[in-house]
Amino acid sequence: MNHNSEIRQARYIVIDGPIGVGKTSLATLLAPELNARLIFERAEENPFLSDFYHDPARFRFQTQIFFLMSRFAQQEEFSQHDLFNQVTISDYLFAKDRIFAYLNLNDHELALYEQIYKMIEPKVVRPDLVIYLQADTETILRRIKQRARPFEKDVSRDYIEAVNDAYSHYFFRYAETPLLVINTSDIDFVHNPQDLDDLIREILSMRPGTLYYVPRSQG
């Protein structure tokens, strides 16, 4: 069913969460339901990423700065569009870059990173709604293995667990926009239309503050 006529306030919706949690899948499914355009993060275009997973200490700074500038360039391009003309859904929050920077960089690298970040962050468009997808580490590892992206073949369990913890810490304190928190370990919005439709109803009824999504089957 098409819900575009029901959208009132959330013109720019961002979906975020750890690697492999289902951000792109949910964005892709929501777009036709909300008659929305999509903005996908282009992680595979980072030439340092596969090297980073193999040797983090050597390639962390190059990887992070490439991501920062690539994401900013994409945000600048996006900001030229008329946000009131069509609902827009993105599979990443610009602030995620900082989550990874604090996870991966040493103090000297982080000091330089922060100088760059603080110059460009004020120019980034703020979303109307952020959807934070959660899952336990084992579920995420299973999904990463299933999608079999070549540049992720060397990612370690310890790294995924650290990323998962960093996201939990960040969003526990998040208050910049309305936030919908969804634990995806026990729902399947990809293969179960009822789960997707229930989730869309929650998105359309979002209010200020933070809401923890509870599926109707568990309510």
Neighbours of 83 (CB within 10 A): 14
Report how far residue 199's alpha carbon sits from residue 103's, in angstroms, rounded to the nearest whole number.
31
Catalytic residue among 16, 55, 91, 107: 91
State the amino acid at position 148 in one-letter form: A
Scanning the structure block, which residue is given the tokens 């929050």? Answer: 93
188 classed as catalytic:
no
Report how far residue 217's alpha carbon sits from residue 163's, in angstroms, rounded to the nearest whole number.
29
Report how far residue 68's alpha carbon sits from residue 117's, in angstroms, rounded to the nearest whole number.
8
DSSP string over 137-199: HHHHHHHHHHHT-GGGTT--HHHHHHHHHHHHHHHHS--SS-EEEEEGGG--TTT-HHHHHHH
Catalytic residues: 91
